[in-house]
Amino acid sequence: MALFAAGGPAPTQHSTARKIAVTVGGLLVLMVILLSAFALPGVNTAVKDLPIAVSGDGLAPTQVTATLAKADAGAFDVSMVASEQAAQQEILNRDVYGALIVDTDGLTLDTASAASATVATALVPLAQQLGSTLNLPVTVHDIRPLTSDDPKGMGLTAGALPIALGGWLAAMGIIALIVGAWHRLIAAAVFSIGGGFALTGALFAIGTFDTNYWATSAAAMLGIAGTCYFVLGFERLLRGRGIGIAAVVLILLGNPLSGLASAPEMLPHPWGALGQLLPPGATGTLLRNVSFFDGAAITQPIVVLVAWAILGLTAYAVAGRRHQPRHAFDIHMDAATAATG
């Protein structure tokens, strides 16, 4: 008491100051991590192992591949194909981003800005450089362009992430407002269906998409459902820690690693590939391939999103079983008390 009377700090003051310091320090670390996660992929975006095809007659294609290897070592993963038709089919199948065709008319670059406007733009100066080196005229064909209302694909870049993260927001709202395990699952399903139609409709309205509305809506539904059930399951299983895990997966990692602004191959290895295994990246790829490429290469993103939904539902079921014994015991005790009372 004498120490406190002499003006010494109270224990509660020490405790409060420590809590403030720890809280502020933790939040600062979190902000630095968030800034790094969002900024580093963009800063380090570069062409590396980007798949392209080469075709033509005689020794010219070999000269093209040799020039590519010399000019941009490691930047491209070049495959030889038999004809321009075969090269274009690889583009439409999402196996490659572009093709360099050598024939009697010169050098033709086939691209698909719908696959990635950034990559399509980056391939043009490359083709011009090769044409100059090989003394060939250069022609550029965009065989699968973006829409005229959104020629840079900004709507897809900005819209796919809200569709994926919409599942997060829906889960938070359902947890706060809906009572009952089955009711929450039903609410998530209803929101996924309604959200898929509504959000896809918004992208059609602003001109990002102009074909395959129903299939694109179904893709959006799957993206929302995968995210929503994942958040619901982990929140029920781990409470606050589950929400934190979901935030890391969807926001800290999933958003910057989605590759929507450029291409997964342009992110530092292996982060681009990892991003395609997370809900935002898988959702963006699925929407792109369904709307612009008639469903080519959709197996992986569908499997990824279904796997996240199953993971969430499994966690939801495990949490339910964990709470069941206590609930059954409480019912038994209530019944016993009523019988003896």
Chain-wide mean pLDDT for the chain? Answer: 84
Residue 115 near residue 133 (C-beta atoms within 8 A):
no
DSSP labels, 212-245:
-HHHHHHHHHHHHHHHHHHHHHHHHHHTHHHHHH
Rg, Å, the chain Cα set: 27
Three-state SS for 186? helix
Mean pLDDT over 181-193 rounds to: 94
Show Cβ contacts of residue 289 under 8 Å, excluding neighbours closer than 6 positions.
94, 295, 296, 297, 298, 301
pTM across the whole model: 0.84
User: Which of 127-136, 150-159, 252-261, 283-292 is the most confident on average?
Assistant: 283-292
- The Cα–Cα gap between 335 and 341 comes to 10
Residue 119 pLDDT exceeds 70: yes
State pLDDT tens for residues 156-181.
877 766 776 788 889 999 999 999 99
**43-68 core/surface letters (b: 16 or more CB in 10 A; e: else):** eebebbebbbbbbbeeebbebbbebb
* Alpha carbons within 13 A on the beta-carbon side of 13: 5
The pLDDT score that the predictor gives to residue 282 is 94
State pLDDT tens for residues 286-300.
999 999 999 999 999
Name which residue leads in pLDDT, 259 or 228. 228
Residue 330 pLDDT exceeds 70: no
The pLDDT score that the predictor gives to residue 10 is 60
Mean pLDDT over 135-160 rounds to: 88
Bridge partners, residue 102, by sequence: 56, 107
Dig out the tokens for 198 from the structure.
């509504």
State pLDDT tens for residues 47-82.
677 899 998 766 566 777 777 776 665 678 888 898
DSSP labels, 247-316:
HIIIIIIITTTS-TTS-GGGSSTTHHHHHTTSHHHHHHHHHHHHHHSTTTT-HHHHHHHHHHHHHHHHHH
Residue 333 pLDDT exceeds 50: no
Residue 110 pLDDT exceeds 80: yes
The ranges assigned to domains in the chain are 50-142, 154-328
Return the residue matching tokens 């929450």.
Answer: 184
Share of the chain above pLDDT 90, in %: 46
Residue 3 pLDDT exceeds 50: no
Mean pLDDT over 295-317 rounds to: 96
- The Cα–Cα gap between 292 and 275 comes to 21
